[in-house]
């Protein structure tokens, strides 16, 4: 797979006061590929994601989207580029039904003011069917009644419904049981097979080896390795996470 | 796990193919919602039947069921319904507004002062005075909302401060104009609001328009769902709802017509109620109100201006308080130092809660204002006929509110445990 990267970060850095959260990190993800982002707590995974999402402003480095240099300063920029982030807490409104959640903030209207419920229901069904999400009985039930895996599926479906090119999933399987994890990983795979670029953050190496095409490993804000799962072992990845070689040691005078 | 396997067995998600659900499917789905704690309007309807039953028995020989008393009840319901409609919006976003009774009073006093006639009076026409009163109260709501969102202070405290401050304003305004503190409303139009009745034929014309409108909307929605191949509720249920509404509303109009006719004030409250029902259920703004009540963070990430929605809800609540305030003032024919006092605040909030709007935000319907107001007003009315003293009345009112809150808390808990909320 040597297709062009959808998103490419070159040498990005971010510091919070004296804390260097990211230092000179390169990161790429390609269409049709699942890129896993691993690292211990405090390695900078979330900072990197939030930098891409426009929640943090990156201090240094370049960002290319589909080959063109871009500057991301707000979540709006990210959404306009076609990048959707599914956060760990999913941010679904429990009291609203599946359709209302999927269209929240982007409701279809008729005659300028009326909610076009029929159209929204139709499109929500189409999206869910295209992702082979088959476990939801009715799109008119409140999200509160859904299981963790089903909620994750709704959050992902919501993210891909808007012609997004890159979907970032933050710990999508963290709170799920075995069978539901299975469903979500299948869904992640299908997203990539549809030609989307997918970035998945996870602590679960087993899941990652199952679904990812590449693994980027961060340690103390630096990229220490990039792996291809079929050519490596879990031990190697664990080693990189815990003792990967750093270009610069934090705290030392450079 | 178990619910997931169940869902698997239920088979793939279905578009419905424009097919009707069967009656059995519909009833099953309804029953499982009830069992799960999503009680909808069920408790309030049972409560209403219970209360009408109790007072019908206790106060039967005191003419509880007479047409005259029924029309009086409608008059009592009007003001509370209007104020409670605004309360519903504030409750939906998980906030509270304790200032409504006195904000409504500020509205009615402002209107009355602007309407004062003669050489010393301001002599405003009725529409300008009413408009000014509504504008003033809406701005008060804007002020409350702005403080609550800007400073991040709980609405409970801000509107409690509002309760005190606006009651002071009512005192200042009324005593400044007249030493006795009572100002009589002289304008015939404003007086007519709560003292006029629809001519009997007009009662039926309005009835026909409403029923035909409801039926048309219902069938229009069915048709548009069928066009999009979505599943439709059974025809029987649609017909049942239309005929049910036609029978109940028909009986309501008929019985009022055997006395003085349908009060204008209840029509005013119903017009506002249906307007806000439409806003809540069919527009983006309404959807956002529910979203903010359900999960403010989700709403914020969806690009919704959460603070703006909050402020708007406080504006609606203050605006509707002035509508209710004007109706109540019109009924008394005057405003005084007591306007907005008594248990008006508690009754209005109780009406919204008794009607089924959750104090926890996110769940409830605008129509709960009317159903709740019916319960509250029936209790007041029945106790009034019985001649119970105010001590007993307060105790009973307290019990009704407590019962409503308990039903709310219970249904919320069982919703949580069955995973519906």
pLDDT at A1: 46
pLDDT cut 70: percent of chain B above it: 92
**Matching residue, tokens 């548009």:** B224
* Residue B73 reports pLDDT greater than 50: yes
On whether any CB of chain A is under 8 Å from the CB of B282, the answer is yes
Domain enclosing residue A223, as ranges:
5-92+164-243
Interchain CB distance below 8 Å, B294 and A95: yes
pLDDT higher at B206 or A246: B206
Q: Does B287 touch chain A (CB under 8 A)?
A: yes
Cβ atoms of A169 and A200 closer than 8 Å: yes
> Cβ contact (<8 Å) for B13 and A125?
yes
pLDDT over 90 (residue B269): yes
- The pLDDT, as a whole number, for residue B418 is 60
Contact A118 B230 (CB under 8 A): yes
Average pLDDT over residues B337-350: 90
The answer to whether the Cβ–Cβ distance between B230 and A122 falls below 8 Å is yes
Residue carrying the six token digits 């079929």: A230
| Residue A231, in any domain of the structure | yes
- For chain A, say whether B217 makes contact (Cβ under 8 Å): no
Give the pLDDT score at B268.
96
Minimum distance, in Å, between the CA of residue A252 and any CA atom of chain B: 39
Q: Which residues of A touch B363 (CB under 8 A)?
A: 95
* B343: enclosing H helix or E strand: none
- Output the pLDDT for position A162: 81
pLDDT, tens digit (0-9, with 9 covering 90-100), for B126-148: 999 999 999 999 999 999 999 99
* Inter-residue contact A7 to A83 (CB < 8 Å): yes
Of A104, A114, A144, nearest to B298 by CB-CB distance is A104
CA atoms within 13 A on the CB side of A188: 31
Asked if pLDDT for residue B421 goes beyond 70, the answer is: no
Residues of chain B found within 8 Å of residue A150, distances taken between Cβ atoms? 4, 7
Query: Mean pLDDT over residues A16-45, rounded?
Result: 90
Confirm or reject contact between B13 and chain A (CB < 8 A).
yes
* Chain B residue numbers touching A184 (CB-CB < 8 A): none
How much is the mean pLDDT over chain B? 88
User: The domain spanning residue A177 has which CATH number?
Assistant: 3.40.50.300
Residue A129: its chain B contacts at CB < 8 A? 13, 15
Tell me whether residues A95 and B298 touch, CB distance under 8 A. no
Encode pLDDT of B361-418 as tens digits. Answer: 898 999 999 999 999 999 999 999 999 998 998 898 888 888 888 888 887 777 666 6
Whether the pLDDT of residue B183 is over 60: the answer is yes
Nearest CB to B4; choose among A94, A135, A144? A135
Which 3 state secondary structure label does DSSP give A74? coil
User: Bigger pLDDT: B33 or A146?
Assistant: A146
ipTM of this complex prediction, to 2 decimal places: 0.83
Separation in Å, CA of A192 to nearest CA in chain B:
22
Please determine, for residue B337, whether its predicted confidence score (pLDDT) is greater than 50.
yes
pLDDT at B164: 96
Residue A46 falls inside a structural domain: yes
Say if the Cβ atoms of A144 and B421 lie within 8 Å: yes
| Residues ≥6 apart with Cβ < 8 Å to A239 | none
Residue A237 maps to a domain: yes
Mean pLDDT of B194-213: 94
For chain A, first and last CA: distance in Å?
37
Looking at residue A251, its pLDDT comes to 55
CB-CB neighbors (< 8 A) of A159 in chain B: none
| Inter-chain residue contact B290 with A96, CB threshold 8 Å | yes
Structural domains of chain B, with CATH = 40-196+263-412 (1.10.3470)
Does the pLDDT at position A133 exceed 70? Answer: yes
- Touching A: B residues 221-240, CB under 8 Å: 224-225, 227-230
Residue B84 has pLDDT above 80, yes or no: yes
Angstroms from A188 CA to nearest CA on chain B: 19
Cross-strand pairs, A115: A109
Contact A105 B297 (CB under 8 A): no
Question: Measured between beta carbons, which residues in chain A are less than 8 angstroms from residue B289?
Answer: none
Chain B residue numbers with beta carbons less than 8 Å from the beta carbon of A96 are: 287, 290-291, 294
CA gap B76, B73 in Å, rounded: 5
Nearest CA in chain B to A113: B283
Separation in Å, CA of A44 to nearest CA in chain B: 22
pLDDT at A34 over 50: yes
- What average pLDDT score do residues B301-313 get? 93
pLDDT of residue A79: 84
Q: How many domains does chain A have?
A: 1
Average pLDDT over residues B235-249: 91
B419 and chain A in contact, CB less than 8 A: yes
The residue that leads in pLDDT, B27 or B350, is: B350
Q: Establish if A130 touches chain B: CB-CB under 8 angstroms.
A: no
Please report the pLDDT score of residue B67 as a whole number.
92
Nearest CA in chain A to B298: A91
Instruction: Please work out, in degrees rounded to the nearest 5, the angle formed at the alpha carbon of residue B88 by the alpha carbons of B110 and B328.
Output: 35
A232 falls within a domain: yes
Looking at residue A56, what is its pLDDT? 87
Please provide the DSSP assignment of B195-241 as one string.
Answer: H-B--HHHHHHHHHHHHHHHHHHHHHHHHHHHHTT--B--HHHHHHH
pLDDT of residue B110: 95
The average pLDDT across A31-51 equals: 90
Give residue B5's pLDDT. Answer: 37
| Chain A: residue whose CA lies nearest to B303 | A105
Residue A158 lies in a domain: no
Average pLDDT, chain A: 87
Q: Look at residue B215 and tell me whether its pLDDT is greater than 90.
A: yes
B7/A137 CB distance under 8 A? yes
- Closest CB from A95, A115, A149 relative to B363: A95
Q: Is 80 exceeded by the pLDDT of residue B352?
A: yes
**What is the model's pLDDT at position B1?**
37
Task: Tell me whether residues A150 and B228 touch, CB distance under 8 A.
Answer: no
pLDDT for the residue A111? 86
Q: Do A95 and B303 touch (CB under 8 A)?
A: no
Beta carbon pairs, A and B, within 8 Å: 121
Does a structural domain hold residue A100? no
Higher per-residue confidence, B23 vs B100: B100
pLDDT: which is higher, B211 or B236: B211
A115: nearest CB among B229, B287, B294: B287
Whether residue B47 has pLDDT greater than 90: no
Measured from the Cβ of residue B66, the count of other Cβ atoms closer than 10 Å reads: 14
The answer, for A137 touching chain B at a CB cutoff of 8 Å, is yes
Instruction: Give pLDDT tens digits for A136-193.
Output: 878 888 888 888 888 888 988 888 888 789 999 988 888 788 888 888 898 899 889 9
pLDDT given for residue B165 in this prediction: 97
Residues in chain B, how many?
A: 421
A100/B291 touch (CB, cutoff 8 Å), yes or no: yes
Distance CA B322, CA B82 (A): 9
Q: How many Cα atoms occupy the beta-carbon half-sphere of B136 within 13 Å?
A: 23
| B7 contacts A93? CB cut-off 8 A | no
- What does the pLDDT read at residue A80? 86
User: What was the pLDDT predicted at A217?
Assistant: 92
Question: Measuring CA to CA, which residue among B100, B45, B40 is closest to residue B375?
Answer: B45
Token pair for A123: 């499109």
pLDDT at site A112: 84
pLDDT band, very low/low/confident/very high, at B37 (cuts 50, 70, 90): low
CA closest to B417 among chain A residues: A145
For A115, which of B10, B284, B418 is closest by C-beta distance?
B284
Q: What is the DSSP letter of A85?
A: E
Do the Cβ atoms of B230 and A133 come within 8 Å?
Answer: no
Identify which of A190, A178, A240 has the alpha carbon closest to the alpha carbon of residue A34. A190
Residues 6+ apart with CB under 8 A from B60: none
Q: How confident is the model at residue A35 (pLDDT cuts 50, 70, 90)?
A: very high
Which three-class secondary structure state does DSSP give residue A134? Answer: coil
Tell me, yes or no, if A80 comes closer than 8 A to chain B by beta carbon.
no
Q: At what angle do helices B284-294 and B306-332 cross, to 10 degrees?
A: 110
Residue A182 lies in a domain: yes
pLDDT, residue B293, reads 95
Residue A26 covered by a domain: yes
């Amino acid at each position: 797979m040597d297709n062009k990267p959808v998103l490419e970060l070159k040498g990005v850095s971010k510091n919070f006061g004296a804390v260097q959260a990211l230092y000179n990190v390169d990161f790429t993800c390609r269409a049709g590929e699942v890129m896993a982002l691993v690292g211990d707590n405090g390695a900078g995974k979330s900072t990197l994601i939030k930098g891409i999402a426009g929640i943090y402003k990156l201090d240094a480095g370049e960002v290319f989207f589909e080959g063109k240099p871009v500057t991301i300063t707000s979540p709006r920029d990210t959404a306009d580029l076609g990048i959707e982030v599914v956060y760990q807490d999913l941010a679904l409104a429990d009291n609203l039904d599946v359709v209302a959640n999927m269209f929240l903030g982007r409701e279809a209207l008729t005659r300028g003011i009326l909610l076009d419920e029929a159209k929204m229901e139709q499109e929500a069904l189409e999206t869910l069917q295209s992702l082979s999400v088959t476990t939801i009985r009715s799109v008119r039930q409140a999200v509160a009644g859904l299981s963790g895996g089903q909620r994750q599926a709704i959050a992902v479906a919501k993210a891909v419904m808007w012609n997004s090119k890159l979907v970032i999933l933050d710990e999508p399987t963290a709170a799920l049981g075995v069978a539901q994890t299975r469903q979500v990983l299948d869904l992640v795979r299908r997203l990539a097979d549809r030609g989307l670029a997918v970035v998945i953050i996870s602590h679960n190496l087993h899941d990652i080896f199952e679904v990812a095409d590449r693994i980027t490993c961060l340690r103390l804000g630096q990229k220490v390795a990039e792996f291809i799962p079929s050519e490596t072992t879990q031990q190697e990845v664990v080693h990189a996470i815990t003792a990967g070689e750093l270009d610069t040691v934090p705290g030392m005078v450079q | 796990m178990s619910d997931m396997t169940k869902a698997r067995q239920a088979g793939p998600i279905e578009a419905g193919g424009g097919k009707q659900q069967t009656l059995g499917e519909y009833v099953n789905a309804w029953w499982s919602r009830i069992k799960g704690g999503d009680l909808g309007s069920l408790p309030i309807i049972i409560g209403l039947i219970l209360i009408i039953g109790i007072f019908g028995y206790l106060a039967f020989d005191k003419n509880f069921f007479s047409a005259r008393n029924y029309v009086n009840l409608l008059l009592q319901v009007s003001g509370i319904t209007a104020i409670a409609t605004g309360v519903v919006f504030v409750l939906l976003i998980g906030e509270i507004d304790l200032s409504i009774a006195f904000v409504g009073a500020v509205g009615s006093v402002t209107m009355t002062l602007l309407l004062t006639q003669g050489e010393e009076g301001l002599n405003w026409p009725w529409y300008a005075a009413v408009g000014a009163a509504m504008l003033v109260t809406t701005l008060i709501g804007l002020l409350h909302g702005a403080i609550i969102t800007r400073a991040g202070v709980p609405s409970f405290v801000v509107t409690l401060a509002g309760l005190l401050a606006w009651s002071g304003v009512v005192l200042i305004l009324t005593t400044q104009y007249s030493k006795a503190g009572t100002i009589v409303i002289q304008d015939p139009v404003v007086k007519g609001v709560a003292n006029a009745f629809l001519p009997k034929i007009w009662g039926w014309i309005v009835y026909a328009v409403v029923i035909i409108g409801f039926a048309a909307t219902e069938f229009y929605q069915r048709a548009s769902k069928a066009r999009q191949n979505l599943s439709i509720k059974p025809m029987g249920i649609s017909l049942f709802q239309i005929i049910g509404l036609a029978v109940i509303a028909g009986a309501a109009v008929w019985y009022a017509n055997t006395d003085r006719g349908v009060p204008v004030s209840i029509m005013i409250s119903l017009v506002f109620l249906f307007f806000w029902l439409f806003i809540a259920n069919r527009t983006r703004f309404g959807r956002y109100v529910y979203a903010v009540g359900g999960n403010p963070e989700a709403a914020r990430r969806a690009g919704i201006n959460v603070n703006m929605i909050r402020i708007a809800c406080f504006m609606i609540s203050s605006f509707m308080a002035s509508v209710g305030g004007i109706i109540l003032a019109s009924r008394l024919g005057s405003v005084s130092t007591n306007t907005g006092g008594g248990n008006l605040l508690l009754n209005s909030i109780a009406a919204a809660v008794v009607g089924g709007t959750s104090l926890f935000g996110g769940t409830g319907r605008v129509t709960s204002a009317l159903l709740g107001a019916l319960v509250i007003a029936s209790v007041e009315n029945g106790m009034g006929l019985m001649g119970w003293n105010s001590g007993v009345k307060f105790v009973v009112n307290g019990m009704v509110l407590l019962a409503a809150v308990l039903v709310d808390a219970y249904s919320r808990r069982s919703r949580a445990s069955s995973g519906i909320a």
